[in-house]
A and B are shown apart, each in its own frame.
Chain A
Amino acid sequence: MKNSVNKKAEHANQIALLIIKAMVGVVVLILMALLGYILITGIPNVSWHFLTSPSKDFGAGGGIVNELFNSVYILIITLVISCPLALGAGIYLAEFAKPSFLTNTMRTTIEVLSSLPSIVIGLFGYLVLVIKFQFDFSIISGAFALMFVNIPLLTRNTEESLKAVSHSQREAGWALGLSKWRTILKIILPAAVPGLVTGIILSAGRIFGEAAALIFTAGQSTPVISYANWNPFSSTSFLNPMRPTETLAVHIWKLNTDGITPDATQISSGASAVLIIVILSIILLSRFLGNYLYKKMSGTK
Chain B
Amino acid sequence: MNKYTLSENYLTEITDPIAIETKHLNVFYGKKQATFDANLKFPKHKITALIGASGSGKSTFLRSLNRLNDEIATVTGEIKYQDIDINRKNINVYEVRRQIGMVFQHPNPFAKSIYENIAFALRQNGMTDNLDQRVEKSLKDAALWDEVKDKLTTSALSLSGGQQQRLCIARAIAVQPDILLMDEPTSALDPISSRKIETTMQELKKNYTIIIVTHNMQQAARASDLTAFFHLGHVIEYNRTKKLFTTPKMPATEDYISGHFG
Contact = CB atoms under 8 A, between A and B. Distances in A.
Interface of A: 166, 168-169, 171-172, 174-179, 182, 186-187, 190-191, 297-300
Given A166-B108, A175-B172, A186 B120 contact: yes
Chain B, interface residues (CB within 8 Å), range: 20 to 34
13 contacts: A169-B108, A171-B104, A171-B108, A175-B97, A176-B97, A176-B98, A176-B121, A177-B95, A177-B96, A177-B97, A191-B110, A191-B111, A298-B157
A166 B172 CA distance: 19
Central interface residue in A178, A179, A299, by most chain B CB within 10 Å: A299
Interface of B: 66, 68, 94-99, 101-102, 104, 106, 108-111, 120-121, 124-125, 154-158, 168, 171-172, 175
B124 A172 contact: no
Interface of A, helix, strand, loop or mixed by DSSP: helix
Contacts of A186: 120, 124
Contacts of A175: 66, 68, 97, 101-102, 104, 172
A89 to B, nearest CB: 20
B155 A298 contact: yes
Central interface residue in B95, B96, B124, by most chain A CB within 10 Å: B124
Nearest to A166: B108
A172 B98 contact: no
A172 B124 CA distance: 13
Contacts of B98: 176-177
Nearest to B97: A177
Contacts of B109: 172
A172 B168 contact: yes
Nearest to B99: A177
B97 A187 contact: no
A177 B175 contact: yes
A190 B97 contact: no
Central interface residue in B97, B108, B156, by most chain A CB within 10 Å: B108
Given A177-B98, A297-B111, A171 B155 contact: no
Contacts of B66: 175
